[in-house]
Structure 1
Amino acid sequence: MDWVGFENRDWLGFEWSPWLSLNPEDEELSEIPTDEGLYRVRHVEREGLEYIGETGRSVRGRVMALARGAYAGEMPYRDPHVGAPCMWAVRQEDGPTFEVSYITPDEATDKATRKSLEAALIASYRRAVGKSPTGAFSRIIPGYTMSSYSKNENRGGLLPEGKAEPYAEPGIAPLEWQSYEDPTAVDWMGLKWSEPLELAEVSTTVPATNGVYRIWDSTSPHPLTYIGESANLRSRLKTHKRNRRNKLLFSYSAPDGIDAKHKRLEAETDLIGAHWLAVGKPPMDQH
């Protein structure tokens, strides 16, 4: 697997478009198709990727929403594109030279597959460089505060010196990718997983703490049914117990350091991405 080729035209075996200017005043963006797809953004003055995204509508429309926000006169709201505030802040610090590249593979027409492929792209990027794309998981760069959604009418911008923004807090390192090709392994992705139990046995023995979990059917050839994260594993798994077949198996892991939403999402994304890379499909009920 080519973990480090995240700027290449054949990254993860897909045929990516050439890099195009993200500036909404450039005509290049009109070349992007209106199909479902995925896209990646880089800044020519910075190392790595700034953003990876997906859409079930129009790649052109989604990229244009990001472009208009990134090049706006003031920091945009989180909608219509949650990554735009961060890209706007990057532009203030390092200039306007963003570029975008996209794919519209047949797999992108299915929502679960498209979202799992997005997770695979982010997870493989994290493995290659040791961190997430700059604007992933609703993040902002240090020195800036994040805008709200438009209904709350709070625009972000440059922070006063000495002030901190929770959305700029560093994320977690990539998981260890141990036994990544075996999603039900006891050491899958280097985590310490609990002993598998049936959902019917969810009880107070499950900690009410931050963690990630996996659910599967031991009689099915499909590796996993669902991968999730929660600030309260016990409560979340009890919800699955009520809504799913009690004979399904579950296992959880509660590693240190995932006490914030974006950190749990990073761990969950590594797991979903590893599942897609290992078996070429999302967990059966992942949405």
Structure 2
Amino acid sequence: MHSMNTADYEADDWLDLAWSPWRSLDPAAGELTAITTEPGLYRVRHHNREGLTYIGQTGRDLRERLRALAGCYNEEMPYTDPHVTAPCLWAIRQESGPAFEVSVATPDGVGDNQRRKGIEEALIAVYRRETGSNTEANFGRMIEGYKRSSRSSDGVVGGPLEDDQTEPNTAAGIGPLPWENHSNPTASEWMGLEWSPLQTLAQADQSIPQAAGVYRIWDPSEPHPLEYIGQSTRLRNRLYRHRRTRSEELHFSYATHSVADAKHILEQIETDLIGAHWLALDMAPRDQF
């Protein structure tokens, strides 16, 4: 019986995708011309550092997207556009040298926005689960000791921090969820979280805490796939909004988390949930992305 390769995140069949050979991200090496111009997914590693550096996707042109990321080879830190992750890779290059490599995958249906982004979330979630850690550059992160550039329109070029400066997005966040009962997205203990009792959106009221957490919404007549998975620092406000914009007959439940006090931590929890949903059902929630 065939089993999905989830453990070896550098393999050419990771998560049952057909990954390309690893190629240098350095434009001077001339290897980016071998990258396809199709939409798809990509992963980045650095020879002198542990694990993957970044996992990403594009609905346009992989070669063009990776050339934007290769702005990390500029003399000064690039802006966050055209690629939001290039500043972090620039900082890593200052610390560890230029040895970035990339590998891409273009699975069936990758042109579909929802499918492609669902696979990306699954890759990040599985990486977190298998390594117990995060890639260095996902979730808007920057490595210790550096300040990120702004968008080009704001004109702020980042670089090494002064001794008395701090950068808020250097924190790693949290490790993976427990992945308990991960194949049943409507279970009361799905992914090891303590989900609230299910209610209809019509019942969304002041009993919902004004706290940070994640939530899921589904159609009780068709519970799989879920309708939507979300996160918010103010759960009550967010679920009130869903009550106004969705059918009040839909079910919801939510889970708070003791350390979900920052945007990137909520995003990490949400990614684990969407990734587990994709692995269980081979699709993202119906209204995701």
- The aligned counterpart of 2:84 is 82
Shift of 1:162: 4.5
- The aligned counterpart of 1:217 is 219
Identity %: 53
Alignment of 1:68-147 (within 5 A): 69-147=71-149
CA deviation digits over 1:65-112, x for unaligned, max 9?
001x21011111111101100000000000000000000112211101
Distance 1:154 1:281 in 2: 39
Shift of 1:170: 2.2
Q: Is the 8 A contact 2:198 2:253 kept in 1?
A: yes
Distance 1:200 1:271 in 2: 24
Q: Is the 8 A contact 2:225 2:283 kept in 1?
A: no
The residue type equivalent to 1:25 in the other structure is A
User: 3-state SS of the aligned residue for 1:228?
Assistant: strand
The residue type equivalent to 2:60 in the other structure is R
Alignment of 1:182-197 (within 5 A): 182-197=184-199
The residue type equivalent to 1:254 in the other structure is T
The residue type equivalent to 2:165 in the other structure is K
Distance 1:221 1:123 in 2: 22
- The aligned counterpart of 1:45 is 48
Distance 2:152 2:134 in 1: 26
Alignment of 1:1-287 (within 5 A): 1-67=4-70, 69-220=71-222, 222-287=224-289
Distance 2:18 2:225 in 1: 27
CA deviation digits over 1:192-232, x for unaligned, max 9?
00000000111111111110000001101533000000011
User: 3-state SS of the aligned residue for 1:124?
Assistant: helix
TM-score under structure 2 length normalisation? 0.97
Distance 2:136 2:180 in 1: 25
Q: Is the 8 A contact 1:49 1:133 kept in 2?
A: yes
The residue type equivalent to 2:20 in the other structure is S
Moved over 3 A (4+): none
Q: Is the 8 A contact 2:5 2:13 kept in 1?
A: no
Distance 1:230 1:142 in 2: 26
Distance 1:162 1:49 in 2: 30
TM-score under structure 1 length normalisation? 0.98
Distance 1:162 1:130 in 2: 31
Q: Is the 8 A contact 2:215 2:254 kept in 1?
A: yes
Shift of 1:272: 0.4
The residue type equivalent to 2:260 in the other structure is I
User: 3-state SS of the aligned residue for 1:109?
Assistant: coil
Instruction: Give the alignment's Cα RMSD to 1 decimal.
Output: 1.0
Q: Is the 8 A contact 1:37 1:103 kept in 2?
A: yes
Moved more, 136-145 or 25-34: 25-34
Q: Is the 8 A contact 2:24 2:32 kept in 1?
A: yes
User: 3-state SS of the aligned residue for 2:28?
Assistant: coil
Q: Is the 8 A contact 1:3 1:127 kept in 2?
A: no
Distance 1:142 1:162 in 2: 13
Distance 1:47 1:225 in 2: 36
User: 3-state SS of the aligned residue for 1:136?
Assistant: coil
Q: What are structure 1's unaligned runs of at least 5 residues? A: none
Q: Is the 8 A contact 2:194 2:255 kept in 1?
A: yes
